[in-house]
Structure 1
């Protein structure tokens, strides 16, 4: 093969690679991956908690729902859990519920975590990862605020402060 043909072939391959990289960057950074967002109806789900009871989101219609996705191995999740528990004690009698959806972990690990932090709110177990995927949750922790009508008010990824949790619970407290 002549030098000219090799140069043309290498240039074509380089252009193809650059287009693939460009498309990948565009798809990852400039297109929305959100399956649900503010103003959407929250997708209903049914999960089992640590005791084997069914937890159905639609059963909480009429209440504000602080839907938190987390894992025991996630340090920011662990740091915000005591804040969530503190605010749950304040807001549960005001019509706000916390559903702390654990992602694909064993009952033993979650039970140990729950006892360590003395958590009293429901912990549904997303064993198949379907609920996390339905909500388009990528980083943990992610919190989705749902109002009393089942509408998504806000989605927040990352660790929350106690002040932010209180603010969010005030936002979804039924009027």
Structure 2
């Protein structure tokens, strides 16, 4: 069932898109630094939503392949590209090599892929091998606690964290993170600290 706005009927999805567009336009107009970064967004990076103000990220325990515990706080002081993914996710398979390419191209940032939900370590290793990923860490959020607390509803989702560990941008869906546009956006964010 749709809602009537300005003489037209809109479904829930159209209303959400309208709210996102208006919110993004407001943020860009209110924050000149965001406007500068917004001008660099091309291709897949057009899906990147830049926040007007940084948002705190909840603490969470992530597990590595040997069940060692890690925290996002381990990355404080660095820009972080936090990617939520799963072994069963086809768009994640397309996206993961570009995340590795981004890490190689911009070693000053931390690319942190987090396998969300039920992902067996062997399945993650096989996924990485099939995708040609050799340099990114294996980190898991087996009960999706971090994903749920950050409002991740589908996969993949990539969140950009500033050096204070706060969310400053989010992209829903897969993207080419090794593209010139992605590197330009991240470079501008880093430079604008």
Q: Which residue pairs with 1:155 in the alignment? A: 170
- CA drift of 1:45 comes to 1.5
8 Å CA contact retained: 2:92, 2:155: yes
* Aligned counterpart, 1:167: 184
Q: CA deviation at 1:168?
A: 4.3
Change beyond 3 A, Cα 1:109–1:48: same
Count of residues in correspondence between the two structures: 148
Moved more, 41-50 or 152-161: 41-50
**Displacement, 1:84?**
0.8
Give the TM-score, by structure 1 length. Answer: 0.73
* Cα distance, 1:114 vs structure 2: 1.7
Q: CA deviation at 1:22?
A: 7.1
Equivalences for 1:1-175 in 2 at 5 Å? 38=51, 39-92=54-107, 94=108, 96-104=109-117, 105-116=119-130, 117-161=132-176, 162-163=178-179, 164-173=181-190, 175=193
- CA-based RMSD of the aligned residues comes to 2.6
| Farther-moved stretch of structure 1 (102-111 vs 114-123) | 114-123
**Which of the pair has more CA radius of gyration?**
1
Q: Say if 1:73 and 1:121 are closer, same or farther in 2 by CA, change over 3 A.
A: same
Q: Which runs of 5+ in 1 are unaligned?
A: 1-20
| Counterpart position of 1:10 | none
Taking a change above 3 Å as real, the CA distance of residues 168 and 125 of structure 1, as seen in their structure-2 partners, is: farther
Q: In 1, Cα distance between the equivalents of 2:94 and 2:110?
A: 19
Q: Which of the pair is proportionally richer in strand?
A: 2
Query: Is there any run of 5+ residues in structure 2 with no aligned partner, and where?
Result: 4-10, 20-49
**Quick one: distance in 1 between partners of 2:113 and 2:163?**
17
Q: Distance in 2 between matches of 1:109 and 1:85?
A: 18
Question: Shift of the alpha carbon at 1:171?
Answer: 4.3
Aligned equivalents of 2:163, 2:188: Cα separation in 1: 11
